Amino acid sequence: MSAVPLPIQSADQQRASLQQGRAFPIVIVGHVDHGKSTLVGRLLHDTDSLPTGKLEQLKAVSEKRGLEFEWSFLLDALQVERDQGITVDTTQIWFTTQQRRYVIIDAPGHKEFLKNMVTGAAQADAAILVVDAAQGLAEQTRRHAYLLHLLGIRQVAVAVNKIDLIGNDAARFRAVAESVRNYLVGIGIEPQAIVPLSAREGDNIASRSVNTSWYQGPTLIGALDAFTPRALPVEQPLRLPVQDLYRYGDKRIVVGRIESGRLKAGDRIRFAPLGREATVATLENWSGPDRPLPALTEARAGDSVAFTLDEDVFVERGALGSSPEHRPIDANRFTVRLFWLDKQPLRKGDRLTMKVGTAEREAQVESIVESLDVETLDAATAQQIERNGVARVVLRVRPPMAIDLYETLPRTGRGVLIRGPQIVAGLVIESAATRVSTDITAVDSSVTVQERIEMNGHRGGVIWMTGLSGAGKSTIAMATQRLLFSRGRHVAVLDGDNLRHGLNRDLGFTDTDRLENLRRLAEVAKLMAVNGSLVLVSAISPLQKYRDMAREIVGEDFREIYVSADIALCEARDPKGLYRKARTGEIKNFTGISAPYEAPQNADLVLDTAKPLEFAVTTLTEYIESIFGELPWHPDI
């Protein structure tokens, strides 16, 4: 890749900047008919946050049309402006109290817009839950409340609206307040205030109402001003999901957003799940050739960063950076709480994509532990989860991914499930099965490397042969193995296709599975090389990042050999009939046809298979001899 790293702008970054004092993000949720829009309009008016003349304009329009003015018209007018592109912001409404500035994150209340509600609420630090004084808690209100809990929003004020329509009845208010409080406490939310109010009349919004003299609590504005901004988790362990990598000149730049902790030059950073470590060389700060910026000394939670490393360890999008001392959990089996959004029910055995941060994995539903009734909060066994259902589910992902438990580090302990192009569930991770036991200790071999060299006459190594299908990798590898074996050498061939019949039979051909396939291949090759074998690996390994990973796993005794043959020659050979199937669509993601192949730019050796086989075998054998030790030359092939 070659691209210029640009400052990363995102909703999350905007939210982070808001937390630094510009505005306090809140979400207003509740049943669609309980007065949410009226409350927003009233908040704008009672805090003098409306544009000059806007109220008079709307009243005049209402009178002209013979309509009684309603405060919800203000929200409707703003919506019209947003739809016409008049206002800059498309999802946020601003108002200011004497204490601070607020931004209301748009969160549609209708049942069909729950996804939008989740998206909006995820950016908020606190919430107002609107409840109709006459109707009390509605099913949709319970769902919204549960989603607030699922998203980690714990600061909630309850607006018991339309108190005027029940005659400002104190007894009715107390009954509603008690039922709301009991429900919220049941799901883990302690409401900070439950306010009786009338959004239409302005009772208890910004000032106390004489109509509810029996109420001694704060006004709604007072309750909001009592909220505390959610602190950015700068003092927590470093978590940095890698968003991408860029090559800029001779620099290899890693970019991502710090979810927690801090990062500065000189810090040691570990990338999970592969566990590669390096030292941060520089924090980059660049806005263009004509606008150089001073070097950064430190980046903190909420910052999007670009940085270089002191060595080229294998890193890719989806890796999770941490300090070596405070690592995330490396696991492939999770128990999660989720909110199901798809029309198609969730069933045991379903295959989906799990996304946490920038990491995505294929996930399978191992079991549905229980479903939860959002009305009663009763748990029950279930065979499937219907739309808008809440459940506890066990997921198994492949390959393992780095995560945290939600209770420990919420930002890297929650994610979504994806089916096709659609997000179908939000989830938080309750527990995880650790993939690597900390009780395992490597056992030293009873035979040293030097002893093997003296016995074999050569040291072990990995000769990694890459090229298109049909390029001749396996043919050259087998012929070379025969020659070396006849000389009494410890030599073996690891063929990518052969491993897929056994060790890697559980893997497909997605990018994730291909990466895991080659990781296992490299690990096996390394073990064999450490034990003195010359290992000829025959694997397409189509992308340079895959081969870089293999080189890093094996270490200094890794050599990359490019078996060169163009696509036309390989397709003409087509020894397995795969190109024909790929052309007719029988095989998807076929390298060279429907999936990319990146030829090595700096291979240790290039073998041109347009030439006779003997030439390639001779060239490769001479190369192995020169690298891994004195191997007596034999002219017969």
Numbered residues of the known binding site = 467-474
3-class secondary structure per residue, 249-276: CCEEEEEEECCECEECCCCEEEEECCCE
Dihedral pair phi/psi, residue 504, rounded to 5°: -110, 25
Which residue is it, tokens 């919420």? Answer: 410
The tokens describing 269, both together, are 């950073």
Take residue 219 and report the two structure tokens written for it.
């006004």
What is the rounded distance in angstroms from the CA atom of residue 27 to the CA atom of residue 124? 6
Q: Specify the amino acid at residue 207.
A: S
Helix 36-46 vs helix 72-83: crossing angle, to nearest 10: 90
- C-alpha to C-alpha distance for 15 and 24, rounded to whole angstroms: 9
Tell me the two tokens of residue 487. Answer: 């000389």
Crossing angle for the helix pair 139-150 and 114-121, to the nearest 10 degrees: 40
| Residue 541 annotated as catalytic | yes
3-state secondary structure 21-57: HHCEEEEEEECCCCCHHHHHHHHHHHCCCCCCCHHHH
What CA–CA distance (Å, rounded) separates 110 from 75? Answer: 16
CA distance 498 to 505: 10
H or E segment and range at residue 450:
helix 449-456
Report the binding-site residues for ATP.
Answer: 467-474
Half-sphere exposure of 361 (CA within 13 A, CB side): 25
211: alpha, beta or left, given left = phi > 0 and alpha = psi -120 to 50? alpha
3-state DSSP helix/strand/coil percent for the chain, to nearest 5? Answer: 30, 30, 40
**From 322, 323, 533, 541, the catalytic residue:** 541
Contact 491, 484 (CB under 8 A): yes
Query: Which helix (H) or strand (E) segment is 121 a member of?
Result: helix 114-121
Joined tokens for residue 311: 């060595």
Strands 299-300 and 193-196, bridge-based pairing:
unpaired
Q: Whose CA is closest to 267, among 254, 276, 280, 284?
A: 280
Q: Tokens for 108, please give them.
A: 């549609």
Please tell me the distance from the alpha carbon of residue 317 to that of residue 566, in angstroms, as a whole number: 30
Q: How many CB atoms are closer than 10 A to CB 361?
A: 22
- Strand 262-263, strand 251-257: pairing: unpaired
Active site residues: 541
